[in-house]
Amino acid sequence: MKNFIYFIIIGFLSISCSNGGEDTNDTAPIAPTLVAPANNKLCLNNSVDFEWNIDTEANKTTSYQIQIAKDNQFTPIVKTVTTVSDLQTIQLEKNTAYYWRIKATDSQNSLSSFSTTYKFYTAGEAVTNRLPFLPELVFPASNSVLNTATAKLSWTATDVDATDILVYDVYFGTTTTPTQKISENITTTTLDVNLNTGKEYYWKVVVKDNKGGETTGQIWKFKTN
């Protein structure tokens, strides 16, 4: 009798372990890889073809969600499109900078992380100059905490007009909307600043091209211990 009960318990545990193993195999799909429009692309038509690649082993993917915005924080999102194919045509405004990303959903309704973000510009009629894209943060990371007396602020910026020359104004301070311009018309994408302990700093970059175009970036912040 004891042996009979023992085998029943072992069998129950085996089934339970087997079922648990099946659940752990249901992993989320891999984020798609963006193909077109390529990063920093000038799209001559405002009817834009979006294309992406998926992992060759991700055969359980059933749909994709495309998000399009006019800023790289996706606030707000101007277009959200769900599709089952890996190619989608979307009508957008002319003469506008856009940012896009995508995520996948599988048959178990598991979501991938978002892909990397690409940016592109739609051409306008009789436009001789296009504004620079929004600057992108490099360092310090948003909401990070630093333990140093100095920091090298760092960012990147691009312009779909490849021949444009870019310069930068940097605003920096301890108010949530920094108004103090600490550097103007610099050509580098880094700037050294002095810090005090126990402070919260806010900063932004204005990107300017040599044809009078300006783009003001969002406000970034970090703290010091």
Equal CATH topology for 33-122 and 136-224: yes
- In this structure, which amino acid lies at residue 204? K
In this prediction, residue 7 carries a pLDDT of 46
| Among 209, 92, 217, residue whose Cα is nearest residue 161 | 209
CATH of domain 33-122: 2.60.40.10
Six token digits for residue 200: 């919260």
For residue 1, give the DSSP letter: -
Note whether 193 and 214 are within 8 A (CB).
no
Q: Give every strand in the sheet of 96-106, ordered side by side.
A: 41-43, 118-122, 96-106, 61-69, 77-83
- Measured between alpha carbons, how far is 188 from 163 in angstroms, rounded to an integer? 17
Q: What is the residue-wise DSSP string for 93-114? A: -SSEEEEEEEEEEETT--BPPP
Q: Residue 97 CB: number of other CB atoms within 10 A?
A: 20
Residue 186 has pLDDT above 50, yes or no: yes
pLDDT: is 182 or 4 the higher one?
Answer: 182
CATH architecture of 136-224: Sandwich (2.60)
Phi, psi of 191 (to 5 degrees): -155, 130
Beta-ladder partners of 137: 155
Q: Residue 43 CB: number of other CB atoms within 10 A?
A: 20
Lowest mean pLDDT, pick from 1-10, 22-31, 91-100: 1-10
- Measured between alpha carbons, how far is 80 from 7 in angstroms, rounded to an integer? 55
Residue 59 has pLDDT above 70, yes or no: no
- What's the pLDDT tens digit per position in 5-30? 444 444 444 444 444 444 445 688 88
> pTM for the complete prediction?
0.78
In this prediction, residue 163 carries a pLDDT of 93
- Measured between alpha carbons, how far is 157 from 172 in angstroms, rounded to an integer? 18
CA dihedral 160, 178, 145, 142 (to 10 degrees): -30
In this prediction, residue 17 carries a pLDDT of 44
Average confidence (pLDDT) over 130-141: 97
Residue 124 has pLDDT above 80, yes or no: yes
Residue 61 pLDDT grade (very low, low, confident, very high; cuts 50, 70, 90): confident
In this prediction, residue 14 carries a pLDDT of 46
Residue 2 pLDDT grade (very low, low, confident, very high; cuts 50, 70, 90): low
- In this structure, which amino acid lies at residue 100? W
- What's the pLDDT tens digit per position in 152-179? 999 999 999 989 999 999 999 999 999 9
Residue 60 pLDDT grade (very low, low, confident, very high; cuts 50, 70, 90): confident
Note whether 73 and 81 are within 8 A (CB).
no
- Measured between alpha carbons, how far is 145 from 179 in angstroms, rounded to an integer? 22
Break the chain into its structural domains and give their ranges.
Answer: 33-122, 136-224
In this prediction, residue 29 carries a pLDDT of 87
